[in-house]
Structure 1
Amino acid sequence: MHKVLSFHQGRLPLLISMPHAGLGLTPAVRDGLVDQARSLPDTDWHIPLLYDFARELGASVVAAQYSRFVIDLNRPEDDKPLYAGATTGLYPATLFEGEPLFKDGLTPSADERATYLEQIWRPYHDTIKHELARLREAFGYALLWDAHSIRSHIPHLFEGKLPDFNLGTFNGASCDAQLAERLKGVCAGAEGYSHVLNGRFKGGHITRHYGNPAQHIHAVQLELAQSTYMEEIEPFTYREDLARPTQVVLNGLLETLLAWGRERYGK
């Protein structure tokens, strides 16, 4: 197994997680994919590039190196569904549009997938767990930002056009309510962008599992419409002209997150 994640340790009580940014494939997955999946269309494209300001800001950053087509790091290891209706699991079987992901008879074996769980999923979650523990020990609290993006139109998953900024706090369970309202206010003040709190995307396993306000760990997921920073069709080109103003909003969200933490906890 090649390198399964990248990790940068920052100087502030903020960890940014990027579980769906990876492009790596194992031989079994690569050989089994249907033709329309070979371009990895369901990737959270360019998320590390879009958040390239975060390290300078002082955040810790963990990013997946393997594609979600191998194993989905934002799903629980028992693969219990997180959303009602159409969704994808720990080992995706379909593309976002609902078509089969693998050719007949070429789905990776159970043994192969058990290896993905141990060698890809678990190291990623161990990194999150250990870094959040370190931050809470150092600062008395920890902030977790789970960074995602998705095509703005996917009829199989949701109706119509997705809002630009989709904040998720698992219906208020993963972070302080005042913090969520402040983040919502940043989005409301971002001219030309739409937003929603706990709409179609309320937060996946990472947000739900690690967010624990009672233990001073506050987690927020952002599902960003890809139309805000890139071309949504192949070859999925990054658009600097779109990305720059979107980065201003993202920076505002992270600065608000950090400011709230300093006010609440005194450091």
Structure 2
Amino acid sequence: MMRGLDEESIDYEVFEPAAHTIPFVFNSPHSGRRYSREFMAQSRLDPLTIRKSEDVYVDELFISAVSLGAPMLVAHFPRAFLDVNREPYELDPRMFIGELPSHVNRNSVRVAGGLGTIPRIVAENTEIYGARLTAEEGLDRIEAVYKPYHACLRRLIARTHVCFGQAILIDCHSMPGNIRIPGSPEKPEIVIGDRYGTSASSRLTRAASDILTDLGFATVRNKPYAGGFITEHYGRPARSLHAIQIEVNRSLYVDEVTLQRKPEFLLVAGLLREFMMRLADYVVETSGDMAFAAE
């Protein structure tokens, strides 16, 4: 694996394949685990608690995509510091000292829940900060980290689209082990989100679901996770730009109390590699079908 775009960045990294041979881009925006001294000094949380909303080791679960011929963008900054799976300015004014710009989205459901672009809480409604931040600092995070991250992701997708005539973004995440489907006792192991068919071809999403089910995962679509800002923003199936979010149940591969890898970690990673390989084969086999691209 080689570093490619933005290789001087300490906030994120692109892992490039020796040759880009499949029309995929993989993205892990929530697995960052570099908690700076400055950030920890601002937080009221201990080093373990602040990681509760982190997609623990998801980058490692999916990194074999690179050996299969696709680039992967990995965030190093933690989700608790900045969430790039939000609009750029979903901000809660109550978190800041000073005026925020008028274009800030302060009324979104995610802001109300404490999970805006700069989160107020980690999982289980645990407050991150002991004091308010300055508006300048919040806006600096967006300028210095959020915008360059998305610029990098856009370049990867555009490059893939030019090379292959289509681009498929797989946005990689994890979910808590206690997640249930509303109104059902079923415990999903993987949730595939395509914004209810608007961010990707339904044939592509169905193929992904069928492959994961065949590999033994209890797989559901869009409930309770249909995909966030990244899936919605980059998925344009009418233009052969497909975006799918994949949530892996953390209890499959990590101890959710200690965040230590379970012995099953390598097994899960291996099954996900098989999934990525089969999905890539499916896309290559159907790439000449114009109905797939335009669906």
> Normalising to structure 1: TM-score of the pair?
0.88
Structure 2: which 5+ runs fail to align?
1-7, 91-104, 290-295
1:253 to 267, 275, 279: 275
User: Share of identical aligned residues, percent?
Assistant: 23
1:244 corresponds to which letter in structure 2? L
Cα RMSD (Å) of the superposition?
A: 2.7
**For each residue in 1:108-146, what CA deviation from the matched residue of structure 2 results, as whole angstroms up to 9, or x when unmatched?**
321111111011111111111011100111110111110
After superposing on structure 2, the runs of 4+ consecutive aligned residues of structure 1 that deviate more than 4 Å are 36-39, 82-87, 157-162
State the Cα distance separating 1:187 from its structure 2 match.
2.3
- Residue 266 of structure 1: how far off its partner (Å): 3.8
Alpha-carbon separation, structure 2, partners of 1:17 and 1:166 = 16
The answer for the alignment partner of 2:248 in structure 1 is: 224
Residue equivalent to 1:41:
52
Contact 2:80 2:121 in 1 (8 A): no
1:213-259 per-position Cα deviation (integer Å, ceiling 9, x unaligned) = 1111111111111111111112x1112x3123322331233223322
Which residues in structure 2 correspond to 1:99-118 (within 5 Å)?
99-103=126-130, 105=131, 107-118=132-143
Q: Specify the alignment match of 2:121 in structure 1.
A: 94
Q: 1:56 aligns with which of 48, 67, 81?
A: 67
- CA distance in 1 between counterparts of 2:268 and 2:113 reads 29
CA contact (8 A) 1:96 1:154 kept: no
- Post-superposition shift, 1:209? 0.4
Q: Does the 8 Å CA contact 1:152/1:161 hold for their aligned counterparts?
A: no
Match of 1:8 in 2: 15
**Rg larger for:** 2
Return the alpha-carbon distance in structure 2 between the equivalents of residues 158 and 232 of structure 1.
24
Residue 208 of structure 1 deviates from its aligned partner by: 0.8
Q: Is the 8 A contact 2:114 2:120 kept in 1?
A: no
Superposition TM-score, scaled by structure 2 size: 0.80
Q: Structure 1: where are the runs of 5+ without partners? A: none
Structure 1 pair 21–55 and aligned structure 2 pair: CA distance change class (3 A): same
* 2:24 equivalent to 1:18: no
Alpha-carbon distance change, 46 to 160 in structure 1, aligned in 2, over 3 angstroms: farther
CA drift of 1:55 comes to: 1.5
Distance 1:36 1:161 in 2: 33
The letter for the 1-side match of 2:158 is A
Query: Which stretch shifts more, 166-175 or 48-57?
Result: 48-57
Shifted more, 136-145 versus 81-90: the winner is: 81-90
Partner SS for 2:26: strand
- Distance of 1:218 and 1:82 partners within structure 2: 25
Matching of residues 192-231 of structure 1 within 5 Å: 193-231=217-255
Q: Quick one: structure 1 residues 198 and 84, their matched pair in 2 at CA, closer, same or farther if it must change by over 3 Å?
A: farther
Report matched runs for 1:172-191 at 5 Å. 172-191=197-216
CA contact (8 A) 1:158 1:200 kept: no
